[in-house]
Structure 1
Amino acid sequence: MTSAAMAISKHHNIRFKLTLLVACSLLAACQQGVKPGGSTTQTIGGLLDRNGQNPDRLMMEKIAPKKIVDIDAETQRVEAAALSHYESVLSMESAPGVRAEAMRRSADLRIEAAGQGLDINMDEVALAAGLYQNLLAEFPDYPNNDHVVYQLARAYDLSGRSELAIDTLRGLANDYPMSSRANDALFRSAEMLYLRKRYDEASAQYKKLVSQNSTMPYWQMAQYKYAWSQYQLNHTDEAIAAFTAILTQLKMRSEVNSIGQLVALVAPTQAELVRDSLRGLTLALAAKPEGHSINSYFAALPGNQFYPLVYNSLGDLLLRKKRYTDAASVFDAFASAYPQHELAISHSEKAIAAYKQGGFTALMVAAQEAYVDRYAVDLLAQDGADIAAAKLALLHGYMNDVLDYRHAEAQQTPKVDSELRHSRFIAVAARYRTMLTMFPSDSAFAKTNMRYADALYDGGELNAAAEQYARVAYDLASPDKPADAALASVKAYREFLDAAPNAERDAAQKAVIAASARLASTFPQHPERSRILLASAEDLYRLNRYDDAIAICVPLLADGQWPELSLQRKALSVTADAYFAQENFTQAEIYYSQLMPMLVADSELRKTAADRLAVSVYRRAETARTSGNSTLAAKLFLRAAELSPNAELRANASFDAAGQFYVIENWLKTASVLQAFQREFPGHAMAAESDKLLADTFQKSSQPALAAAVYSRIAQHHDTDIETRRQASVMAAKLYDQAGQRAQARTAIESYVAQFPEPLLEAQQFRQRLANMAPVYSAAHLRWLREIVAADKRAATPLPASQLLAADASLQLAMLDVRNANKVELRLPITSSLPRRQRAMETAIDSLARAASYGFADITTVAGHELGDLFRHFAHALMKSEKPKGLSGDVLEEYALLLEEQAYPFEEKAITAFEANVARVKDGVWTAGMRKSLVALAELAPAKYGKQPQLENSYDSLN
C-alpha cells in the first residue's frame, strides 16, 4: 500500500471514529430518558430500532470535513476519546441496548487498535475478547451477534489461539447460516485449516462453499482450494474431477494447445488460478496409482478442448520429476489416441527423447521402431519439403539407432537359443533391406549393405549373404574395404558348402571355387591368398582327394613365402594328414616332425600331431617287426613311446619294444623297458603279462632273487587266473630258496599256503618245508606240524602222501608229548608229582596212538617203540624217585624193595610193547623203530634177547 493510500485509510478511520463518538453521545442522551425500573419490557433489538442505532440502518448527520495535520496523532486521540467514552458508558447503569452497543464498539476499537502495528498488543486483544464474551453471555439476543462472534474469532486469532479461532468461525457458520458473514467464516476457517495441513477438515469447509451458488464471492476460490485439498489428501480422482471442473468452466470453443491460449480465456486476475489449476490437474494425474494413463480420462470427457495442453503439461511434469518412462508413455499415449493430430509426430519424438534422456535404450529403440512403422511412408511421400528434409534426417537417425541396437541384440543372443537368434538376425536383415530401399543415395550405403550381408550371414542365409558380400566387393562404388567383402563372400559360400544337402553340394562347390577365383584375380595382392588356397586344400582333404590336397600344399611349402607362420603350420598339417590318411607313414613322419616344433605346447593341434607322429612311427615299427628286423622294430617302438601323448599307445609301444628286446636276448634292455613300463602304467591291462616277461627275463639273466620278487607280485594279481598265480607263488618260493634268501622264501611259502590250499599235496609239502625251516619244537615248528595234521583231516579225498606227512607230523608232536612226560620227575611228596607224571604219560600215549593210527609201518613202529620206552622210563623214574628223609638201614632197604616191586610191572609193560613192535617182523616188516625195540629188549631181557647182532642181521635180511 502506498503512503497516500495509507493516509486516506487513516482519514476514513478518523471519520468513522468521530461518528462513533457522536453516536455515543446520542446513546447517553437516550439513557437519561429510560428508567431502569419502568414497567415497559424492552429488548435490545427494540431499543436499537427506537434510537436509530441499528447498524444496518444507522443514520447520522453529515459532519463538515476537518483538515487534520497529523493523521496518526489525531487517530490515536480520537480512539482514546472513544474508548474513554465507551468505558464511561459501561461504568454507568446504561440501558441494555446502549450497554451492548458500547461493549461491542469498545471491543471493536481495541481489536482495531491492537492489529494496527507489527507488534500486537495482547492485553488489548484480551480485553476485547473478554468484552465479546461478556456481550454474548449478557445479551444472547443481540441482533448483531454474528458480528460479535466473527470479531471474537479475530481476537482469538490475534492472540495466537488458532484452534479457538477456527472453532469460533465454524460455529458462526453453523449458528448463523443466514448471516452475511457465514460464508466468510466458512472460507476463513477452511483457509486456517488448510494452512495447518488439516486438509480433510479444510476440504469439508470448502465443499460447503462449492455446493452453493457459483455467484457467491468465495465460490471460485473455494472450488480451487477444494481441489488442492483433495490432492493433498491423495484423493487423486476427486482432485482430478475438481481441477477438471475449473478448466471446463472456461467454455473453450476451440482446441487449446498452450498455456498462453488457456490464460487468454480468463481475466488477468484469474490467470494465475487457471494456470495453477492446470498444474494441479497434471500433478493429480501423475499421482494416480495406475500411472498417468490419461487416455481413459479424456475418453470420459467428450468434446473437451484442452486435451493437447494436458498431455503436454503432464509429460513435461513427469520429465521434470525424472519419471522418464512415465513421461514417454504420456507422449506416446497422445500419439496413439490421436494419430491424425498435427502434434502426434512431435509427441512420438518427445517419447523417444524421454526414453533417451532416462537411459532406457531398449524402450527408446522400441519407440523408434514404432515411429518408423507409423510415419516413414508419409515422410517419404513429402520428400522435397523443408520440414520433410529434417524429419527424414531424424527418421534416418532413428533407423540407424534401431539397426545398431537390434543387430547387437541379435549378436548377443546365446547360440544355444538358435531359433531366437536366427529370427532376430532375419528381422535385422529385413530392416537393413528397408533402409537400403528408403535411402538409396545414402553416403553410407555400401557400409549398410555390408551390415545387411552380415545379418544375413549370422542368420544362416549363407547364399544370400555371399551374394550381398560380392555386391559390396565388386558392384558398389567406393565400398569400404572391398577385399574384406570379397573374402566374406568366399567364406559364406564355403560355409554353405559345408552345410549343403547332397543334392546341392556340386553347385555349392562350384560357387566356392568361382568366388575364390574371383577374389584371386581381382585382388592379386590379397593377404589371404595363401589362406584361401589352403582352405581349398582342406576341402579336397575332406573329400578324400589326398593327392590333390598334397599337390596344392607341397608347392606352397617349397615356395616358403608365408605372410604368417600359422599358414605354414596349416600347410604342413594338411600335407602330413594327407600322407597319414594314405598310410604313407614314412612321409607322414617327415611332415609331422617338421610341424611339431611350430605348434604351441599343450595345444589340441600339437596333441593331435604328436599322436599321429607317434602312430606313424609305431606303424613303421610294426612293419619292421613283421619283416623280422627286431632290432629296428625295438628302436622304433621305443621312439613311438617317447613321442606319443596318448597313454595307451605309449603303453603298447613300450611293451612291444620290450618284446623285441627279449627276442634278440638283450636281457638288460628288456628288463629296463619293462620296469619303466610298470612304473608309468601300474594298472595297465598288460601289467600281468609284463610281470611274466620280466620274471622270465630275470631268470634267464641269472637273477633269481629279482625273478622271485616279480613272481611274488604275479601271485598277487587278482585279475590273473588262479593257476598262473599258484605257479608264480611256487616259483617265488623256489627262487628265493635258490638265492639263499630264507626269510623271503619263508614269506613266499607262507603266502602260497594261505592263498592255495589246493592241490593238497603241494600245500602239505610247503607246510612241511615251513616246519623244517623252524627250530625244532619252536612255536612255528609245532604250528606247521599241527597245520599238516589239520589240513589232512579237512581233505575231502585222503591222499596217501598227505597222510604220510600228517602221520610223520603227528609222530613229531607225540614225541614232544613223550619228552614232556619223561621230564616230569617223581619228587616228594610223591602224591603230588606222580599224578602229573601219569597225566603227561596218558597224553603221550594218546599222541603215539594217533600217530600209529595212520598205518604207516615206519611211523607205527617208531610210535610202538616210543610207547615201550615211555614205560621203561617211568619204571626207571620210580626206582630213582626221591627217598623220604630219615630212612636208613633196613627201612631204607625195604623202601627200595617196595619201589622195585612198583616199577617191575612197568618194565613188563615196556617189554610187552617192545615185543609187540618186534613181532611185526612176521608181517614182513623191519624198520628202525623195530630195531630200536630189539635193542631195548636185549637190555631188559638179555637172557632171551642177548644175541642182538645175530637177530638184527637176520631181520635186516628181510629188507
Structure 2
Amino acid sequence: MNSRVVIITLALSLLFLHGCATKKGTLASLDDSGIVIEKNAPIDSARQKAADNYASFINSAPKDSLRVEALRRLADLELEKSEERFQQQLSKLDSEKKTISVAKEAEIKQSSYETAIKLYEDAAKASLGEVNDPQIYYQLSKAYEQAGQPEKALDALNRLLARFPNIDNRDEVHFRRGELLFSLNKFKDADRAYTQAMVVNPSSAFYEKALSKKGWSAYKLGEYDRSLHSFFTIVDRKLRTSGGEVDIEGEHLSRGDKELLNDVFRVITLSFNELGGADAINNYFDNNGERVYVSRVYRNLGDHYLEQRRIRDAASTFKAFVKRYPDDIYAPDFDMYRIKAFSRGGFPSLLIEAKIEFVDRYQVNGDYWNKQNEMTQAKLSPVLEQNMEEVARHFHAVAQKSKKPEDYVQATSWYKMFIKSFGIVGVYRAGENIGW
C-alpha cells in the first residue's frame, strides 16, 4: 500500500473516530503525596490503533506535505486523548482519596498535553518549507491553552499571523489573541487585538464579541468614556429590529442576545457610577446624541444605587431623568421611583416633598397633563389621585396636631384641589378624611 492510500485510509478512520472522545472523571480535592504522573494512561483501543498507524507512516514517510499532514492528524488525535488522560488521572487519584494542590494539578495537566504539543511543534517545524497549513498553529495554540499555558498559546497565534497574515479567519485569530491577552491582564494589548478582529470584517460573527470585550478592556483600564462607546454601539445594534425600528425592551432578541444585552447594560451602569452618576449620563448624551432607550439607562443606575442602599443617590438619579425629560411619557414613573425610594429609606420629610412635587407637576389640566393623550392620562390618574389624597391627609394631620388656623387653611386648599380634580370621587374621599 503506497503512502497516499495510507493517508486516505487514516483520514477516513479519523473522521469516524472524531466524535468518540468523552471527558471522564471529576476534579476532586486530592493529596500530592505518592502521586505518579502517568503520561500514557490507556485510551480507546480503536483510536489508539489509528494513532499507531499514523506514527508508523510518519517514521517511513519522506519529508513532504503528506508527512506534515500525518503529523497534524496524529497531533489532533493526541489532543483529544490529552484531556481524557488528564481526567482519568484525576479520577484515579479521586478514587484513591488523595488530594492535590493547584500546582500539582497544573503539572499533571501540562504533562497530559505534552505529547500533542510536541507533535504540533514538529508539524510546524516540518511545514516551514513549501507546506501551507495554518491549522497546525491554530491547533498548537489550542493545545497550549488547554494545557494551562496561555503565553505559549498566544505565541502560537502570533506565529500563525506572522506566516499567514492574510488568513481567511484572521478575525477569529485576532479575537482569540484578545481573549488570551485579556486573561493575562494585558488589557491594552487585548484592546488592540479586539480592534484588529473588528477591522477584518464588520459582518463577522466575532465582531460583536470583540466589540464587547474591547469595551471591557477599556473598563479594566479605567477608560470609562471609551468603554461606554463600545457598549452603546452594541446596544444600538441589538435593539434595532430587522425592520429598522428600535425595540426598547428587546423582545425580538434571542435568549443569548438578551443575556448579552443585560450584561452590557450592567457594565454601562458601573461605568456611569465610576464617572459620577446621573450627571455623567447627562454629559454623555449631550456629547454623543440621545438614545430612545435612555430611560433604561437612568433606571438601571437608580436601581443600582437602591441595591447599595444609597437612597439619596437613587432619588437624585430618578429626578435627573425628570428634569432632563419633563414631558416624557415615563416622567411620572420616575417621580414615583423617587417617592418609593424615600419611602423605602425612611425619609418622611423628603417623601412628602416628593409627593407635593408630583402633584404640582402632573395635576389635572396642568402643563404635563394637557400634553398627554387620553391613554396616558388614564394611566396617570389613579397615581395622581393617590398622591394628592396622601398630601391632603398629611396637612390635615399637621393641622389637627398644631390647631393653627393657617395649617387648616393649607389642608383645606389641598382637599379643594382633590375635589376639583376628581369630582364626586374627590368629594367622597375628602369627606371620609374630614369626617363628614
Deviation at 1:194, TM superposition (A): 3.4
Name which of 368, 391, 400 aligns with 2:355. Answer: 368
| Alpha-carbon spacing, 1:160–1:302, altered in 2? closer, same or farther (3 Å) | closer
| Matched letter for residue 417 of structure 2 | M
Given that residues 124 and 136 in structure 2 are in contact (C-alpha distance below 8 angstroms), is that contact kept between their aligned partners in structure 1? yes
Q: Deviations over 1:50-92 (max 9, x none)?
A: xxx9xxxxx899989x999xx78xx944433333233333334
Which among 216, 233, 238 is matched to residue 221 of structure 2? Answer: 233
Q: Deviations over 1:711-743 (max 9, x none)?
A: xxxxxxxxxxxxxxxxxxxxxxxxxxxxxxxxx
Q: How many residue pairs were aligned?
A: 373
Alignment-mate amino acid for residue 326 of structure 2? P
Q: Which residue of 1 aligns with 2:77?
A: 109
Matches within 5 A, 1:390-409: 390-398=383-391, 400-401=393-394
Deviation at 1:129, TM superposition (A): 1.9
Change (3 A) 1:137 1:170: closer
Give distance in 1, aligned partners of 2:163 and 2:211. Answer: 23
Residue type of the partner of 2:222? Answer: N
Supply the distance in 2 between the matched residues of 1:363 and 1:114 (Cα, whole angstroms): 65
State the TM-score, normalizing by the size of structure 1: 0.34
Q: Which residue of 2 aligns with 1:27?
A: 3
> Residues of 1 paired with 2:84 and 2:198: CA distance?
33
1:376 is matched by which residue type in structure 2?
Answer: Q
Which string of whole-angstrom CA distances, capped at 9 and with x for unpartnered residues, describes residues 306-361 of structure 1? 12333333322332232222221222122222222232112111112212322344
Structure 2 partner of 1:155: 143
Q: Does the CA-based 8 Å contact 2:83-2:112 persist in structure 1? A: no
1:313 pairs with one of 300, 303, 307: 300
How much is the aligned-residue C-alpha RMSD, in angstroms?
4.4
**Contact map agreement 1:240 1:284 (CA 8 A) in 2:** yes
Alpha carbons of structure 1 residues 387 and 160: separation in structure 2 relative to 1, 3 Å: closer
Bigger RCO (CA 8 Å, 6+ sep):
2
Partner of 1:96: 64
2:208 corresponding residue in structure 1: 220
Query: Conserved in 1, the CA contact under 8 Å of 2:75 and 2:120?
Result: yes
**Quick check: 1:434 aligned with 2:413?**
yes
State the identity %. Answer: 23
How far apart in 1 are the matches of 2:306 and 2:252? 27
Q: 1:116 Cα shift?
A: 4.3
Distance 1:292 1:302, change over 3 A: closer
Match of residue 346 from structure 1: 333
Is 1:283–2:270 an aligned residue pair? yes
Check 1:230–1:110 CA distance in 2 against 1; reply closer, same or farther (3 A cut): same
The aligned runs of 1:155-174 (5 Å cut-off) are 155-174=143-162
User: Are residue 388 (structure 1) and residue 377 (structure 2) matched?
Assistant: no
Contact 1:348 1:371 in 2 (8 A): yes
1:520-669 correspondence runs (5 A): none
**Which one of 301, 305, 310 corresponds to residue 323 of structure 1?**
310
SS in 2 for 1:109: helix
Distance 1:342 1:289, change over 3 A: closer
Once residues 272 and 213 of structure 1 are traced to their aligned partners in structure 2, the CA distance between those partners, rounded to angstroms, is 24
Unaligned runs of 5+ residues in structure 2 are 22-42, 90-108, 371-376, 420-426
Cα distance, 1:195 vs. partner? Answer: 4.2
Aligned partner of residue 211 in structure 1, secondary structure = helix
Deviations 1:236-265 (A, max 9, x none): 212221111112123366665xxxx53223
Write the mapping of 1:161-310 to structure 2, written as runs, cut at 5 A. Answer: 161-249=149-237, 250-251=239-240, 256=247, 262-291=249-278, 293-300=280-287, 302=289, 304-310=291-297
Paired with 1:275 and 1:155, the residues of 2 have a C-alpha distance of: 33
- Alpha carbons 1:147, 1:181 under 8 Å: kept: no
For 1:67 and 1:213, locate their aligned partners in 2 and report how far apart those are by CA, in whole Å: 34
The answer to whether the Cα contact below 8 Å between 1:129 and 1:156 also exists between their aligned partners in 2 is yes
Distance 2:83 2:10 in 1: 29
Give yes or no for contact 1:28–1:89 (8 Å, CA) kept in 2. no
1:356–1:364 CA contact under 8 A, matched in 2: yes
- For 1:843-884, what per-residue CA distance to the aligned partner results, in whole angstroms no more than 9, with x for missing partners? xxxxxxxxxxxxxxxxxxxxxxxxxxxxxxxxxxxxxxxxxx
User: 1:431-464, CA deviations, whole angstroms, 9 ceiling, x for partnerless residues?
Assistant: 5463254257534887xxxxxxxxxxxxxxxxxx
Distance 2:318 2:3 in 1: 73
Q: Would you say 1:358 and 2:358 are equivalent positions?
A: no
The 5 A counterparts of 1:717-732 are none
Q: Provide the rounded CA distance (Å) in 1 between the counterparts of 2:344 and 2:136.
A: 61
- Aligned partner of 1:335 in structure 2 is 322
Deviation per residue, 1:349-376 (Å, 9 max, x gap): 1112212322344543443342233123
Q: Which amino acid aligns with 1:281?
A: I
> For 1:186, what is the secondary structure of its paired residue?
helix
In structure 1, what is the equivalent of residue 52 of structure 2?
A: 84
Q: C-alpha offsets along residues 99-127 of structure 1, whole Å, 9 cap, x if unaligned?
A: 33333332222123223463487556212
Letter of the 1:273 partner, please give it.
L
Superposition deviation, residue 427 in structure 1: 9.9
Change (3 A) 1:374 1:122: closer
The DSSP-based 3-state class of the residue aligned with 2:200 is coil
The structural deviation recorded for 1:397 is 1.4
Give the match's secondary structure for 1:150. Answer: helix
Q: TM-score, normalised by structure 2?
A: 0.69
The more displaced of 197-206 and 115-124 is 115-124
Deviation at 1:392, TM superposition (A): 1.9
Contact 1:254 1:305 in 2 (8 A): no
SS at match of 2:209: helix
| CA drift at 1:234 | 3.1
Note closer, same or farther for the CA distance 1:131–1:390 as it changes in structure 2 (3 Å cut): closer
Deviations 1:28-67 (A, max 9, x none): 689xxxxxxxxxxxxxxxxxxxxxx9xxxxx899989x99
> SS at 2:134's partner residue?
helix
Q: 1:429 to 1:251 in 2, by over 3 A?
A: same
Distance 1:438 1:223 in 2: 54
| Alpha carbons 1:331, 1:350 under 8 Å: kept | yes
Decide which structure has the larger Cα Rg and report it: 1
The aligned amino acid for 1:397 is: E
Corresponding residue for 2:422? Answer: none
* Counterpart code for 1:434: S
Equivalent residue of 2:249, what SS? helix
Separation in 2 of the partners of 1:426 and 1:174? 88
What does 1:902-917 align with in structure 2 at a 5 Å threshold?
none
The residue aligned with 1:554 is none
Aligned to 1:703: none
Alpha carbons 2:170, 2:197 under 8 Å: kept: no
Alignment partners' CA distance in 1, 2:337 and 2:55 = 73
> Structure 1 residues 334, 254: CA separation in 2 closer, same or farther (over 3 Å shift)?
farther
CA distance in 2 between counterparts of 1:67 and 1:238 reads: 49
- Post-superposition shift, 1:218? 1.0
2:231 aligned counterpart, secondary structure: helix
Pairs within 5 Å for 1:5-44: 26-27=2-3
Change (3 A) 1:274 1:386: closer
